[in-house]
Amino acid sequence: MRQFASSGFRLWNLGLAAKALYTAFCALTFLGVVSSALYYGDLVGTGTRGIRRYYAGEEREAPSVSAPAGDAAAGGPAIEVPDDAERARPPLIVAVTYRKLLEVTHFHLFTMPVVLLIVGHLFLATGLSERWKLTWIIAGSVSVALHLATPWLVRYLGGGVAFLHALTGLGLTVSMSVLTLYPVLAMWRGDKRAPATRVQPG
């Protein structure tokens, strides 16, 4: 960590072993971001229906079964016989419990800030201007905080705010991708435009 606090330090000044370590960390972190995006994409499904079902417990509308026209025309009783797909009982939809939501939030509150801190330090040691560094650090911090908060909003305010979870998930994916991938690029490529000002990651 002394290297990060030294004057004019940049990632491309690291030794080969340190570059390999930080590259592996960023690559695995990026894979975690991708897996989260895929998970939430599967959860969301079409629109925000999956989020509404999982957090708010809002059930889909049951498919309607119309009576056969032949029976009604013959004057006899209309007997509805659903096909195999309709005969299957729909799954019970229950909103996520307070305890489960607290458990997930507790776990992520102890992991996401640590990941953000590490990739943020690496990002601060790139050759970007201070304005861009501040912009992306704020974007990553805000998206992490909001994405941890939105499940609670969906659970207690209803499915009408489910779009917020999808929106913050998109913001988290974009910001964390930049914070993890750009340091790797700068580390191996170097940057001749790097300013000579002192870097203070902490």
Q: How many CB atoms lie within 10 A of CB 166?
A: 19
pLDDT computed for residue 84 by the predictor: 58
Q: How far apart are alpha carbons 61 and 63 in whole angstroms?
A: 6
Alpha helices in 45-97 (DSSP H): 49-51, 69-74, 84-87
Tell me which DSSP letter residue 97 carries.
Answer: P
Residue 12 sits at the vertex; the CA angle it makes with 128 and 177, to the nearest 5 degrees, is 55
- Listed in sequence order, the residues at least 6 apart from 176 whose beta carbon sits closer than 8 Å to its beta carbon are 29, 30, 33, 115, 116, 119, 140, 143, 144
- pLDDT score of 88: 57
| CA gyration radius, the chain | 25
Closest CA to 179 of 22, 18, 6, 2: 22
Q: What is the spatial distance between Cα 80 and Cα 67, in angstroms, rounded to a whole number?
A: 6
pLDDT recorded at residue 132: 94
Residue-level pLDDT, tens digit, the chain, 202 residues: 555 555 566 788 777 888 888 889 889 888 888 887 777 666 555 567 777 776 777 665 544 444 455 554 555 566 666 565 555 565 556 677 888 888 888 888 889 999 999 999 999 888 889 999 999 999 999 999 999 999 889 888 888 888 888 899 899 999 999 999 999 998 888 765 554 444 444 4
Contacts of 88 (CB under 8 A, 6+ apart): none
Structure tokens at 114: 């640590």
> What pLDDT does residue 5 have?
52
DSSP, residue by residue, 9-66: --GGGS-HHHHHHHHHHHHHHHHHHHHHHHHHHHHH-STTHHHIIIII-PPPPPPP-P
Q: Which residues, at least 6 apart from 41, have a Cβ–Cβ distance to it below 8 Å?
A: none
